[in-house]
């Protein structure tokens, strides 16, 4: 249970940092005709990838019934390398108030910077934010990524990671009863590798 919660906290921190950078960047160059200083302004809409082609699609059933179809606009995503087991961790969520405030965290084992992959063992965590409902596979044997590609982005060390996969067994509630099965999933999100991957990878 402790590794799952630690992984979740790390991912939520990465999402928050990614969102803060995006908001700062969006606010640093006001468009022509922007409201005068002091006038109320709408909050910037978060995006997953600056290239406009991030997304998450998934079918989930059980304790949560939903067909997820999240486009790039309004979706927050973040990713980073991890050390134990070696691979990457990606998270996806929508702006507050949408889709039940769900947070999805995928841990992909054996993925390395810039490399494609197939038959990748995957750990899944599903969190209903603002509640104590957390569901996890507690290991990478229940879900698999069929195919994975990576494409370098303009920012140093950043890659667009695209994956397609499925789960054969459900993610069980970390507390209490219940389970969630993600029968299929497809996503394209951000992974930010440090220049020294070995030193930067986090457990």
Asked, for residue 41, whether it belongs to a domain, the answer is no
pLDDT in tens, 56-103: 999 999 999 999 999 999 999 999 999 988 999 999 999 765 556 899
Spatial distance between the Cα atoms of 138 and 136, rounded to a whole number of angstroms:
5
pLDDT for the residue 148: 98
Asked, for residue 203, whether it belongs to a domain, the answer is no
Asked, for residue 30, whether it belongs to a domain, the answer is no
Spatial distance between the Cα atoms of 182 and 143, rounded to a whole number of angstroms:
9
Query: Into how many domains does the chain fold?
Result: 1
Asked, for residue 31, whether it belongs to a domain, the answer is no
pLDDT in tens, 99-151: 568 999 999 999 999 999 999 999 999 999 989 999 999 999 999 999 999 99
How far from 177 is each of 133, 135, 172, CA to CA, in Å? 10, 10, 8
Give yes or no for a contact between 4 and 138, defined as CB atoms under 8 angstroms apart: yes
Indicate whether this model's pTM tops 0.85. no
Asked, for residue 33, whether it belongs to a domain, the answer is no
pLDDT in tens, 143-200: 999 999 999 999 999 999 999 999 999 999 999 899 999 999 999 999 999 855 544 4
CB atoms within 10 A of CB 67: 9
Asked, for residue 179, whether it belongs to a domain, the answer is yes
Asked, for residue 81, whether it belongs to a domain, the answer is yes
Query: Domain range holding 76?
Result: 2-25+46-193
Asked, for residue 37, whether it belongs to a domain, the answer is no
pLDDT for the residue 179: 97
Spatial distance between the Cα atoms of 81 and 74, rounded to a whole number of angstroms:
24
CB atoms within 10 A of CB 39: 7
């Amino acid at each position: 249970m402790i590794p799952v919660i630690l992984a979740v906290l790390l991912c939520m921190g990465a999402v928050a940092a990614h969102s803060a950078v995006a908001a700062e960047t969006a606010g640093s160059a006001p468009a022509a005709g922007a409201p005068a200083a002091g006038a109320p302004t709408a909050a910037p809409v978060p995006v997953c990838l600056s290239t406009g082609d991030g997304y998450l699609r998934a079918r989930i059933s059980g304790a949560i019934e939903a067909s997820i179809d999240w486009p790039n606009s309004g979706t927050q995503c973040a990713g980073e390398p991890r050390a134990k087991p070696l691979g990457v961790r990606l998270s996806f969520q929508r702006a507050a108030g949408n889709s039940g405030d769900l947070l999805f965290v995928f841990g992909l084992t054996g993925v390395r910077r810039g490399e494609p992959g197939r038959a990748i063992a995957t750990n899944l965590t599903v969190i209903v934010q603002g509640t104590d409902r957390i569901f996890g596979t507690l290991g990478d044997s229940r879900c698999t990524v069929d195919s994975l590609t990576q494409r370098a982005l303009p920012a140093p060390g950043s890659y667009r990671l695209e994956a397609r996969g499925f789960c054969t067994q459900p993610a069980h509630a970390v507390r209490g009863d219940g389970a969630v099965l993600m029968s299929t999933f497809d996503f394209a999100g951000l992974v930010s590798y440090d220049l020294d991957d070995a030193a930067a990878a986090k457990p």
